Amino acid sequence: MQHIQSYIEEHKDRFLNELIDLLKIPSVSADSAYADDVIKTAEAVKTSLEKAGCDHVEICETEGFPIVYGEKIIDKNLPTVLVYGHYDVQPADPLELWHSPPYEPVIKKTDIHPDGAIFARGACDDKGQMYMHVKAMEFMTTTNQLPCNVKFMIEGEEEVGSVNLSKFVKNNQEKLKNDVILISDTGMIAQDVPSITTGLRGLSYVEVEVTGPNRDLHSGLYGGAVANPINMLTKMIASLHDENNHITIPGFYDNVEELSEEERAEMAKAPFSLEAYKKALDIDAVYGEKGYSTNERNSIRPTLDVNGIWGGYIGEGAKTVIASQAFAKISMRLVPNQDWENITNLFKAHFENIAPHGVKVKVTPHHGGQGYVTPIDSIGYQAASKAYNDTFGKTPIPQRSGGSIPIVSLFEQELKSKTILMGFGLNSDAIHSPNEHFGVWNYFKGIETIPLFYKYFTELSQ
């Protein structure tokens, strides 16, 4: 029976070239200018699943972009793994900050990736990580080592909130029935520190609009006499945190789960260098909620951040003007037990309440999702842990991530199964940023580790 390492060795170039071809299609779900490319990517994913040995592959149309579904059912009595991933990507801008064009993938060596990394939008999030599963599937089917049933569900709207996938999951419970959900769309601590993600934060994303006078005004003739919407908006935003960087929205922390001292001590054992962290970001100090470490601040604590703010004159030179309106986009990262719709309502009520006289405030909710935590004593976690042990020679560390994949909590609610998050990216891979990349070593390590998950999961399920 052929071993995965020799299979990878034999097909290395093809595995890289196929991923590179997929990365060349700009599947930006947020921008309608790319709609044709998103659909083209769905077709390419469908073809790849057919070639990888799925018996039945289909494109499931939605009101938005399609979901690619594939399966191979070998025996109804064996367990079923459902693989989820996304083929859409974030917009690539600002383009001028890329060292090579985002949809012309190149492999370059970096300090962290001496074997090279593929630079392209979506390389790590999530085309590269999703494609590891397609190649692991190809290995298992062509070498007769698939130990259980597999279902693939690859969507095209993760980066815009998975609204249509939610409906699809609710309406297709029987089709999607599974024993465990497997996702590679997160990260690990470092190349020599394997970890399995055991938690994701929830999200509430809102847009706010502050309106003052009915037109832009001369800032000399009216300045000082009317409320300036930009001044008001920035004041309101500043008031959302107190001097300890605690969020001031009444009720915001009501359901936040407080970790025990033991759990916090366990978390603190994960290797982390504050100096290296600051150096990597070129900052002289970290910043955040009083009483919590950096790793706690970015995983087990909720946050509120402005993602964009605009209004008034930003063209060349100076224009003396009081803008009629000011805007901001705000995200709140939530922890398990905080309900995102409740938080959205609390934000809206509070923001409207603190509006100074002289301006009107409008809050428009965008999307959101619940957080997620998964226990480490499940069969799925144990199988993943054994798989990493084999390929890294070390037991992986459970780690809660600060990012969000809102659909994961919906999976648990609707399909009643646990999700295992086997991510192979690094924080330094620059997902959502210019020069996103994915280590070639990480790509192959993922392909090597995934079949072992299937093997151990099937064994432990008997």
Q: Which residues bind ligand BES (CB under 6 A)?
A: 125-126, 158-159, 161, 185-187, 200, 203, 367, 401, 403-406, 431
Q: How many residues does this entry show for the chain?
A: 462
71 contributes a contact to Mn ion by CB under 5 A: no
CB of residue 406 to ligand BES, shortest distance in Å? 5
| Residue closer to ligand BES (CB basis): 200 or 206 | 200
157 contributes a contact to Mn ion by CB under 5 A: no
| Residue closer to ligand BES (CB basis): 122 or 147 | 122
Distance CA 389, CA 408 (A): 25
| Residue closer to Mn ion (CB basis): 8 or 181 | 181
Q: What does 51 interact with, of ligand BES, Mn ion, none (CB < 5 to 8 A by kind)?
A: none
| Residue closer to Mn ion (CB basis): 53 or 91 | 91
Q: What does 206 interact with, of Mn ion, ligand BES, none (CB < 5 to 8 A by kind)?
A: none
| Residue closer to ligand BES (CB basis): 113 or 455 | 113
The beta strand positions in 61-179, using DSSP E, are 67-72, 80-86, 106-108, 117-119, 149-155
Q: Supply φ then ψ for residue 242, to 5 degrees.
A: -95, -170
CB of residue 113 to ligand BES, shortest distance in Å? 17
Task: Give residues with Cβ within 8 angstroms of 102, minimum separation 6.
Answer: 26, 92, 95, 120, 121, 434, 436
448 contributes a contact to Mn ion by CB under 5 A: no
Q: What does 415 interact with, of ligand BES, Mn ion, none (CB < 5 to 8 A by kind)?
A: none
| Residue closer to Mn ion (CB basis): 203 or 440 | 203
CB of residue 376 to Mn ion, shortest distance in Å? 23
Q: Which residue is nearest to ligand BES (CB)?
A: 403
Q: Token digits for 395?
A: 């037991």
CB of residue 10 to ligand BES, shortest distance in Å? 30
Nearest by Cα to 336 from 258, 262, 230, 437: 258
Task: Give residues with Cβ within 8 angstroms of 181, minimum separation 6.
Answer: 81, 82, 83, 84, 408, 411, 415, 417, 418, 419, 420
Estimate to the nearest angstrom the gap between the alpha carbon of 142 and the chain centroid.
31
Rule CB under 5 A: choose which of 18, 37, 71, 125 binds Mn ion.
125
CB of residue 89 to Mn ion, shortest distance in Å? 8
Cβ atoms 405, 159 nearer than 8 A = no
| Residue closer to ligand BES (CB basis): 19 or 230 | 19
429 contributes a contact to Mn ion by CB under 5 A: no
Cβ atoms 98, 92 nearer than 8 A = yes
Cβ atoms 266, 366 nearer than 8 A = no
Q: H or E element: which one contains 331?
A: strand 325-334
Which residues contribute to the site for Mn ion (CB under 5 A)?
A: 125-126, 185
